[in-house]
């Protein structure tokens, strides 16, 4: 599942929860049953424009609620309902604009509607900036009594109100809030600088591969050719690509330092005890989770090292294993069956049977509807995602199905997000329907794991079985260990800024080298790292998203514990899992997990993931011996 690393790049859109996957696009046929029907959202662009104008006019009136929210529970409910209704319609407008824009990125009016929808979302934020300070000014006791006196207010808004009050110690006076809001643009510049260099101005090298093909190694070509079967090609790709980045080490060091100094500045200004605490505050995630994750990944390194040794054996590498040997799939995909869309749906239903009838019925209903744009097409957005932002309609899914195992696995993954959305919307009011990314990826990765187990169990040949086992393993390396290493690097950088230490590019490369060598077991003789490749940190866009990547790793650990429990305990574990999905965003993600029997601040989920990895490696070794 090599797409995993890229899938984790969640696109920030105003259109509500959108969980992205990544798969290569190629030309293929399109049939009517394989395209989505956007008229479930709006009859057409005229209807969209009318709804847009109406909603915008409502938003412009929000000032009339200023100063009213403390009058009575009825007045508070009136203000919150009006704002919530506008957000609900704005989300639906955003979904339509975004999906239609993704059908063909070359059509300008569709892209303009997307822009309009984003502007509307920003306008709602601006027009309601007074709300949180006014609620905080009412105080806990008053807010509690208002909630208790009105059932409708309690049903829809109690969590929102409680969460707003939680922000009181970190909410500043109006003047300071205005300054912080205005500093946002300045603080986001390092990311702009990164993309300017990485996507446009960096002089990417051109190399000649062993088959005589000349390739210009930009980011996409690098990601493609690092999987080359020829080892000397992989080395040439790495040497040229990282050599190019090495020339910008000082510039990118200063740029990433600016990002981290900005994070620390914001945290300090908002009276947080460090940048990590500030980053985790929004979802109310206890910082121990981050530290437990890092400690557990380090305790699990012998499992990663076992995997790397196995990789060396399976790839038949003589001498030292190198960093560029990480990317070819463990078992090549030759003679593995292909999976049409219909076959992928059938296999997904079969593999998810342990999820029970309620889950399967939703999946069947979704497959029967026109909710998916499935096939690759020119101009269509690449990759895959689920967009569940239209609360009153249904989820939509964009895929680029190419009939390989990755396509099948992506389908199961994205439908995991879709069923999560269906279960949430059926059980929560709109105001509690937006679930955290901290939970979302567990719902989808659990599906991938159940599918992978099913494919292994039903493989027709020894070779097929090995292939599926290898896919499951590669996913854990990329989505768990690599992401935790990034998370550890980020924490270290921010701590150094907090201690007043300077961060030069050279220093960052040194830090990265030490971490990388520890993770891949250089001292244990597992893999040898060429220092040139330690400039990899320059290339990772996620370092400009604050503390984000750790959630990929925690989600995968959560999914491992869930899928184990569902297979072992059956209905009891399954009900806990389904209830978690039904809970949506009605409470904090960590609390919801704990209620479902999983505590990500303890070693158990991480141990479950390592046990899974070792179990798979045992199976591979047995199959290898049987040869
Ligand atoms: Zn996902």
DSSP 123-151: HHHHHTTTHHHHHHHH-HHHHHHHHHT-H
Which secondary structure element, helix H or strand E, spans residue 74, and what is its range?
Answer: helix 73-103
Residue 365 Cα to ligand 1 midpoint, Å, equals 20
Distance CA 79, CA 164 (A): 15
Q: Give the three-class secondary structure for 212.
A: coil
Residue 413 Cα to ligand 1 midpoint, Å, equals 6
Residue 342 Cα to ligand 1 midpoint, Å, equals 21
Convert the pLDDT of each residue in 294-337 to its tens digit: 999 999 999 999 999 999 999 999 999 999 999 998 887 777 78
Cβ(438)–Cβ(285) below 8 Å: yes
Using only C-alpha atoms, the chain has a radius of gyration, in whole angstroms, of: 25
**For residue 627, what pLDDT is reported?**
62
Q: What is the mean pLDDT of residues 488-509?
A: 96
Cβ(247)–Cβ(499) below 8 Å: no
Distance CA 124, CA 113 (A): 17
Q: Give the three-class secondary structure for 413.
A: helix
Lowest mean pLDDT among 176-190, 524-538, 559-573: 176-190
Name the residue among 380, 452, 440 with its Cα closest to residue 412: 452
Is the pLDDT at 601 greater than 50? The verdict is yes
**For residue 183, what pLDDT is reported?**
84
Cβ(612)–Cβ(469) below 8 Å: no
Convert the pLDDT of each residue in 41-76 to its tens digit: 999 999 999 999 999 999 999 999 999 999 999 999
Q: Give the three-class secondary structure for 25.
A: coil
Residue 440 Cα to ligand 1 midpoint, Å, equals 7
Name the residue among 48, 81, 35 with its Cα closest to residue 62: 81
> Average model confidence (pLDDT) for the chain?
91
Name the residue among 540, 538, 492 with its Cα closest to residue 515: 492
Per-residue pLDDT band for 34 (boundaries 50, 70, 90) equals confident
Query: pTM to 2 decimals?
Result: 0.89
Residue 22 Cα to ligand 1 midpoint, Å, equals 10
Residue 18 Cα to ligand 1 midpoint, Å, equals 8
**For residue 11, what pLDDT is reported?**
28
Residue 507 Cα to ligand 1 midpoint, Å, equals 34
Q: Which residues contact 218 (CB under 8 A, 6 or more apart)?
A: 204
Q: Give the three-class secondary structure for 460.
A: coil
Which secondary structure element, helix H or strand E, spans residue 199, and what is its range?
Answer: none
Residue 417 Cα to ligand 1 midpoint, Å, equals 7
Q: What is the mean pLDDT of residues 237-259?
A: 97
Lowest mean pLDDT among 135-149, 299-313, 322-336, 454-468: 322-336
**For residue 382, what pLDDT is reported?**
82
For the chain, the straight-line distance linking the first and the last C-alpha, in angstroms and rounded, comes to 25
Residue 399 Cα to ligand 1 midpoint, Å, equals 12
CA dihedral 293, 298, 302, 307 (to 10 degrees): 60
Q: What is the mean pLDDT of residues 540-563?
A: 92
Convert the pLDDT of each residue in 195-210 to its tens digit: 889 888 999 999 999 9
Residue 582 Cα to ligand 1 midpoint, Å, equals 17
Q: Which residues contact 125 (CB under 8 A, 6 or more apart)?
A: none
**33 burial class (0-12, 13-18, 19+ CB within 10 angstroms)?**
exposed
**For residue 15, what pLDDT is reported?**
33
* C-alpha count within 13 angstroms, C-beta hemisphere, residue 301: 18
Distance CA 250, CA 488 (A): 21
Residue 288 Cα to ligand 1 midpoint, Å, equals 24
**For residue 12, what pLDDT is reported?**
28
Q: Give the three-class secondary structure for 322.
A: strand
Cβ(577)–Cβ(446) below 8 Å: yes
User: Token pair for residue 587?
Assistant: 């409470």
Residue 552 Cα to ligand 1 midpoint, Å, equals 9
Distance CA 583, CA 589 (A): 10
Residue 8 Cα to ligand 1 midpoint, Å, equals 7
Residue 143 Cα to ligand 1 midpoint, Å, equals 36
Residue 384 Cα to ligand 1 midpoint, Å, equals 9
Distance CA 202, CA 222 (A): 13
Residue 29 Cα to ligand 1 midpoint, Å, equals 26
User: Among residues of the chain, what percentage have pLDDT more than 90?
Assistant: 80
**For residue 18, what pLDDT is reported?**
40
Partnered with residue 384 across adjacent β-strands are 21
Convert the pLDDT of each residue in 4-28 to its tens digit: 322 322 222 223 334 443 333 333 3
**492 burial class (0-12, 13-18, 19+ CB within 10 angstroms)?**
middle
């Amino acid at each position: 599942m090599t797409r995993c690393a890229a899938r984790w790049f969640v696109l920030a859109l105003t259109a509500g929860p959108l969980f992205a996957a990544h798969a290569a696009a190629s030309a293929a046929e399109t049939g009517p049953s394989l395209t989505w029907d956007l008229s479930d959202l709006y009859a057409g662009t005229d209807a969209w424009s009318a709804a847009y104008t109406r909603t915008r006019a409502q938003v412009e009136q929000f000032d009339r609620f200023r100063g009213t929210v403390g009058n009575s529970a009825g007045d508070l409910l009136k203000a919150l309902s009006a704002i919530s209704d506008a957000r609900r319609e704005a989300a639906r407008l955003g979904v339509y604009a975004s999906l239609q824009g993704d059908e063909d990125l070359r059509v300008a009016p569709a892209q303009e509607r997307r822009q309009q929808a984003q502007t509307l979302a920003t306008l709602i934020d601006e027009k309601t900036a007074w709300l949180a300070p006014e609620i905080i000014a009412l105080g806990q006791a008053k807010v509690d009594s208002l909630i208790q006196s009105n059932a409708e207010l309690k049903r829809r808004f109690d969590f929102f109100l409680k969460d707003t009050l939680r922000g009181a110690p970190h909410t500043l006076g109006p003047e300071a809030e205005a300054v912080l809001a205005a500093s946002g643009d300045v603080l986001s510049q390092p990311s702009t600088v990164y993309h300017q260099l990485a996507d446009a101005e960096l002089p990417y090298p051109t190399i000649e591969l062993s088959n005589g093909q000349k390739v210009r190694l930009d980011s996409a070509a690098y990601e493609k050719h690092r999987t080359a079967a020829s080892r000397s090609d992989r080395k040439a790709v790495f040497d040229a690509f990282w050599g190019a980045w090495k020339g910008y080490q000082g510039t990118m060091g200063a740029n990433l330092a600016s990002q981290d100094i900005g994070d620390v500045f914001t945290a300090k200004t908002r009276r947080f005890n460090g940048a990590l605490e500030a980053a985790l505050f929004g979802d109310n995630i206890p910082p121990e989770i981050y530290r437990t994750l890092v400690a557990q990944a380090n305790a699990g390194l012998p499992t990663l090292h076992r995997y790397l040794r196995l990789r060396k054996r399976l790839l038949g590498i003589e001498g030292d294993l190198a960093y560029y040997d990480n990317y070819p799939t463990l078992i090549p995909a030759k003679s593995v069956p292909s999976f049409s869309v219909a076959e992928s749906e059938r296999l997904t239903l079969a593999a998810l049977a342990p999820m029970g009838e309620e889950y399967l019925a939703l999946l069947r209903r979704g497959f029967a509807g026109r909710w998916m744009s499935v096939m690759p097409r020119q101009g269509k957005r690449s990759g895959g995602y689920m967009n569940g932002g239209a609360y009153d309609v249904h989820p939509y899914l964009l895929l680029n199905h190419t009939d390989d195992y990755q396509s099948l696995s992506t389908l199961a993954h994205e439908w995991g997000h879709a069923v999560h959305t269906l279960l949430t919307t059926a059980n929560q009011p709109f105001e509690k329907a937006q679930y955290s990314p901290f939970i979302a990826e567990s719902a989808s990765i659990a599906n991938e794991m159940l599918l992978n187990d099913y494919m292994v169990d039903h493989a027709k040949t020894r070779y097929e079985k090995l292939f599926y086992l290898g896919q499951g393993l590669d996913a854990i390396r990329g989505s768990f260990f690599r992401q935790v290493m990034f998370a550890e690097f980020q924490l270290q950088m921010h701590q150094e800024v907090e201690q007043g230490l300077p961060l030069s590019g050279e220093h960052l490369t040194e830090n990265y080298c030490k971490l990388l060598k520890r993770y891949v077991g250089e001292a244990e003789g597992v893999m040898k790292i060429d220092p040139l490749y330690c400039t990899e940190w320059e290339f990772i866009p996620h370092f400009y998203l604050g503390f984000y990547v750790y959630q990929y790793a925690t989600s995968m650990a959560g999914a491992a514990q869930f899928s184990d429990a569902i297979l072992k305990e059956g209905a009891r574990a399954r009900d806990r899992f389904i209830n978690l999905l039904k809970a949506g965003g009605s409470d904090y993600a960590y609390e919801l997990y704990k209620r479902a029997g999983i505590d990500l601040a303890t070693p158990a989920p991480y141990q479950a993931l390592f046990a899974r990895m070792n179990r798979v490696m045992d199976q591979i070794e047995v199959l290898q011996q049987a040869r």
